[in-house]
């Protein structure tokens, strides 16, 4: 159904039901994903899907409802459900809708050329990648995931106060996981690549990198339990950082769910830590010119040389704190209500390479991967105790791989105790280009092992 016509009918039904302000949020996309296993297409999925959500105000309270069935029959459901949802709210916060801005940053997040790549080319690439992984070493026993996903999506937000913005984006992801075996010892490694330029993917290079990593873990053993200097490699540091980014959300601050409450202007990290949120970097994949309320976005220093500068706001939290919104309103999808999330949030790179961090360490544990972040880390308190693996460093050299260890600490304490910040900021892992960190060296963390 044509969206503008649908909107008019929906808003007409809405105002009849008593809604004073109304908004339509519409997402539509095409997806393709495929997996190759043993030189055969193991799965192949094509999709065209989307949905829309309606929200509206009565007496300053916002009611929400959504549907994936986009036709006439859904109009009554949307209006009635939104009204019933609004009827049970008893928050004191009053909301209104945004009338739009006179200027929005122009971002190019859609590559026409990417849409020309055929499924056959994508499958051929995966077959080449799988073979390249196997050719790296006889110890590769299986390439248990060799998959590609591409998507293109468009989003439109239009409301009864004049806001009408839309954007379009696309990207392609490649994920590969290899299993290596030596006698009874089995290890694995994974990597994720994301781009808007398919020709940037180099099967040989990806295979070399992921197989080398898996092989480097063969023969791993725990270290003795104790306190160790720890080098969190970029990917591991980024995944830890990602677990705690909710602490910067003004919503969590206002609800008593963040330890950073009341700390603006205070030192919350070492002087070597600067945290930047940049929604305008066209090379990244959480870039956006407007947020989920239609507010224009802008780059922001969240922590500058250790000093907390700002929280991330949507219109509701900004109003409550008497500040300007920062363009961080977010919806998980059309199925969500407005929350807050960062765009591309990274810890700024330092000067030393990952190799320097190793060669300058007398003894250290390098952590390349952390597991169980959703359960072993408390996003509110900052405490974490996580399964990990990596390497043992002695006299400036990696001497052996380490596994079956846990690493425990507190993220907020850790931010104060970073000794060195690496120069190896990568944007692809862990989540496809949203949260990033260079490698971080920390003086002391608790390792549980033998």
Partner 1 sequence: MLAQSVIENIIDAALSTGGDFAEVFAEDKVNSSIVLIGGKVERSISGKDFGIGVRIFKGTNSVYAYTNDHTEDRLIAMAKKASQALSGEGRTEAVKLQTEKVNTIHPVTFAPLDVAKSKKVAVMRDIYQVAKNYDQLISQVTIGYNDVDQNVLIANSEGRLVEDRRIRTRLSAQTVASNGEEMQTGSYSPGAHKGFELMEDLDLSYYGSEAARIAVTMLKADECPSGQFPVIIDNDFGGVIFHEACGHGLEATSVAKGNSVFAGRLGERVAPDIVTYIDDGTLPNEWGSQNIDDEGEKTRKNVLIENGILKGYLIDKLGGRRMGMPSTGSSRRESYKFAPTSRMTNTFIAPGISTPEEIIANTEFGIYAKYMGGGSVNPATADYNFAVNEGYIVRNGKIAEPVRGATLIGNGAKTLQKVDMVGNNLGHGQGMCGSVSGSIPANVGQPMIRVSEITVGGRRQA
Among 7, 134, 156, 187, binds partner 1 (CB under 8 A): 187
Q: How many residues bind partner 1 (CB under 8 A)?
A: 78
Report the alpha-carbon distance of residue 255 to residue 113 in Å, rounded: 45
Distances (CA, A) of 332 to 22, 49, 307, 341, 353: 20, 16, 29, 9, 36
By CB under 8 A, is residue 46 in contact with partner 1?
A: yes
CB 14 within 8 A of CB 142: no
Q: Which two tokens stand for residue 206?
A: 């990806």
Among 74, 195, 314, 317, binds partner 1 (CB under 8 A): 74
By CB under 8 A, is residue 100 in contact with partner 1?
A: no
As beta bridge partners, residue 25 has 53, 157
Tell me the CB-side half-sphere exposure of residue 22, using CA atoms within 13 A: 22
**Among residues 172 and 373, whose Cβ is nearest to partner 1?**
373
By CB under 8 A, is residue 381 in contact with partner 1?
A: yes
CA torsion, ordered 431, 435, 441, 443, to nearest 10 deg: -100
**Among residues 101 and 444, whose Cβ is nearest to partner 1?**
444
CA pseudo-torsion sign 138, 232, 394, 383: negative
CA torsion, ordered 398, 403, 405, 408, to nearest 10 deg: 60
By CB under 8 A, is residue 86 in contact with partner 1?
A: yes
Please count the other Cβ atoms lying within 10 Å of the Cβ belonging to residue 26. 20
By CB under 8 A, is residue 43 in contact with partner 1?
A: yes
**Among residues 78 and 435, whose Cβ is nearest to partner 1?**
78
- Within residues 211-270, the interface with partner 1 by CB under 8 A covers 222, 225-227, 255-257, 259
Distances (CA, A) of 225 to 254, 445, 449: 39, 11, 5
Among 45, 101, 166, 324, binds partner 1 (CB under 8 A): 45
Report the alpha-carbon distance of residue 183 to residue 186 in Å, rounded: 8
**Among residues 67 and 434, whose Cβ is nearest to partner 1?**
67
By CB under 8 A, is residue 58 in contact with partner 1?
A: no
What's the closest the beta carbon of residue 56 comes to partner 1, in angstroms? 13
Host H or E run for residue 302: strand 300-304
Among 124, 212, 380, 399, binds partner 1 (CB under 8 A): 380
Stretch that binds partner 1, among 63-71, 127-135, 273-281, 419-427 (CB under 8 A): 63-71
CB 34 within 8 A of CB 185: no
Among 9, 200, 335, 351, binds partner 1 (CB under 8 A): 335
3-state secondary structure of 303: strand
- Within residues 272-291, the interface with partner 1 by CB under 8 A covers none
Q: Which two tokens stand for residue 20?
A: 């004073």
Closest CA to 98 of 52, 46, 162: 162
- Within residues 291-330, the interface with partner 1 by CB under 8 A covers none
**Among residues 164 and 383, whose Cβ is nearest to partner 1?**
383
What's the closest the beta carbon of residue 298 comes to partner 1, in angstroms? 27
What's the closest the beta carbon of residue 119 comes to partner 1, in angstroms? 7
* DSSP string for 125-172: HHHHHHHHHHHH-TTEEEEEEEEEEEEEEEEEEEETTS-EEEEEEEEE
- Within residues 388-407, the interface with partner 1 by CB under 8 A covers 403-407
**Among residues 252 and 346, whose Cβ is nearest to partner 1?**
252
By CB under 8 A, is residue 85 in contact with partner 1?
A: yes
**Among residues 85 and 309, whose Cβ is nearest to partner 1?**
85
Closest CA to 53 of 68, 72, 66, 70: 66
**Among residues 63 and 422, whose Cβ is nearest to partner 1?**
63
How many separate helices (H) and strands (E) can be counted in the chain?
10, 19
Among 111, 264, 408, 443, binds partner 1 (CB under 8 A): 408
What's the closest the beta carbon of residue 286 comes to partner 1, in angstroms? 21
Stretch that binds partner 1, among 128-136, 182-190, 282-290, 428-436 (CB under 8 A): 182-190
- Within residues 116-175, the interface with partner 1 by CB under 8 A covers 119, 142, 144
Stretch that binds partner 1, among 232-240, 300-308, 332-340, 355-363 (CB under 8 A): 332-340
């Amino acid at each position: 159904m044509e969206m503008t016509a649908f909107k008019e009918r929906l808003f007409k039904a809405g105002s009849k039901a008593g809604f004073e302000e109304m908004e339509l949020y519409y997402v539509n996309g095409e997806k393709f994903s495929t997996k190759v296993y043993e030189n055969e297409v193991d799965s192949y999925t094509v999709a065209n899907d989307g949905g829309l959500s309606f929200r509206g105000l009565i007496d300053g309270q916002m009611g929400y409802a959504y549907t994936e069935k986009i036709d006439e029959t859904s109009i009554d459901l949307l209006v009635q459900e939104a009204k019933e949802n609004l009827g049970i709210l008893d928050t004191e916060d009053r909301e209104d809708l945004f009338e739009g801005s006179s200027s929005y940053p122009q971002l190019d997040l859609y590559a026409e050329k990417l849409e020309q790549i055929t499924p056959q080319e994508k499958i051929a690439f995966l077959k080449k990648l799988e073979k390249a992984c196997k050719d790296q070493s006889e110890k590769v026993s299986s390439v248990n995931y060799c998959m590609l996903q591409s998507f293109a999506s468009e989003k439109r937000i239009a409301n009864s106060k004049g806001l009408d913005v839309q954007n379009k984006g696309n990207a392609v992801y490649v994920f590969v996981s290899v299993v290596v075996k030596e006698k009874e010892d089995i290890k694995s490694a994974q990597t994720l690549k994301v781009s808007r330029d398919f020709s940037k993917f180099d099967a040989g290079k990806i295979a070399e990198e992921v197989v080398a990593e898996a092989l480097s873990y063969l023969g791993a053993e725990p270290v003795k339990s104790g306190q160790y200097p720890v080098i969190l490699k970029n990917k591991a540091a980024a995944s830890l950082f990602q677990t705690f980014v909710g602490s910067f959300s003004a919503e969590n601050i206002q609800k008593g769910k963040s330890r950073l409450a009341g700390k603006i202007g205070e030192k919350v990290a070492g002087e070597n830590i600067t945290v930047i949120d940049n929604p305008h970097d066209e090379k990244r994949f959480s870039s956006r010119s407007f947020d989920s309320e239609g507010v224009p976005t802008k780059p922001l220093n969240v922590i500058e040389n250790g000093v907390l500068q700002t929280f991330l706001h949507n219109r509701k939290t900004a109003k409550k704190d008497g500040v300007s919104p920062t363009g961080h309103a977010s919806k998980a999808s059309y199925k969500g209500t407005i929350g807050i999330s960062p765009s591309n949030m990274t810890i700024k790179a330092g000067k030393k390479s990952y190799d320097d961090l190793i060669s300058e360490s007398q003894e250290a544990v390098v952590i390349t991967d952390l597991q169980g972040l959703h359960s072993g880390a408390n996003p509110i308190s900052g405490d974490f105790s996580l399964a990990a693996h990596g390497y043992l460093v002695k006299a400036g050299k990696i001497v052996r791989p380490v596994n079956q260890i846990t690493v425990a600490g507190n993220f907020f304490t850790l931010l104060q105790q970073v000794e060195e910040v690496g120069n190896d900021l990568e944007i692809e892992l862990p989540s496809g280009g949203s949260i990033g960190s260079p490698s971080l060296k920390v003086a002391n963390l608790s390792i549980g092992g033998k």
